[in-house]
Amino acid sequence: MYRNDNDARRRCGLDDCDRVHKGHGLCELHLDRLKRTGTTDDPPARTLADRFWAKVDKHGPDECWPWTAVVNEHGYGVMRPEGHRHGPTIKAHRVSLMLAGVDVEGRFVLHSCDTPRCVNPAHLSVGDHKENVADMVSRQRQACGSRSGTAKLTEQQVAEIRARAERGELHRIIAAEYGVGRSTISRIVNRAGWTHVA
């Protein structure tokens, strides 16, 4: 592409780049690339596998292989899908199984080691929603009791409620004092709810 003299002073000197000139006839991107690599050529594209394994602290076959890059709010490793620099991330443990040849589409990936950062495919398996919930419950990772976003009571209050009911206090009176329904008190006393509280 032909540029006149005014354009050449204001734009990158490379024919296929219209970015603003920064120095030495190049834009900031190409100038930085020249300083780092010695060339203005685009770096070779890295595959998903290359990017993934560069961020894994690989140990023995039976040990956890921790993800060393970015993690989400739940402690799971995350990365960008292949060909994407922006937008949603994918979980690293899902990528690990994909790279191992396992079809994870529409399925949950479960950890046998209960270590969210672990991406060792030997510690991972696929399952459905029911299996994922059962795994979460068996490891006591679900939000229960006062950790639940809808809880109106604490574990201490539940223990107090059970003690008061054992002494013979009426459920409706206890319910009124704690600001919950009588059925909630009955469920607590009969251990149909808050079963984790001794």
Q: Each residue of 106-131: pLDDT tens digit?
A: 999 999 888 999 999 999 999 888 87
Residue from 37, 36, 65, 63 nearest 52 by CA: 65
Which range has the worst mean pLDDT, 41-55, 91-105, 156-170?
41-55
pLDDT at 8: 47
Contact 26, 12 (CB under 8 A): yes
pLDDT at 64: 95
Q: Which two tokens stand for residue 63?
A: 């040990």
Residue from 45, 55, 50, 53 nearest 83 by CA: 45
Contact 55, 61 (CB under 8 A): no
- Residue 191 makes CB contacts below 8 A (sequence gap 6+) with none
Query: How many Cβ atoms are within 10 Å of 9's Cβ, its own excluded?
Result: 11
DSSP state of 144: -
Which range has the worst mean pLDDT, 77-81, 147-151, 173-177, 190-194?
147-151
Residues 76-94, mean pLDDT to the nearest whole number:
87
Distance of alpha carbon 156 from alpha carbon 195, whole angstroms: 13
pTM: 0.54
Q: Say whether pLDDT at 140 is over 70.
A: no
Q: Is 183 helix (H, G, I), strand (E, B) or coil?
A: helix
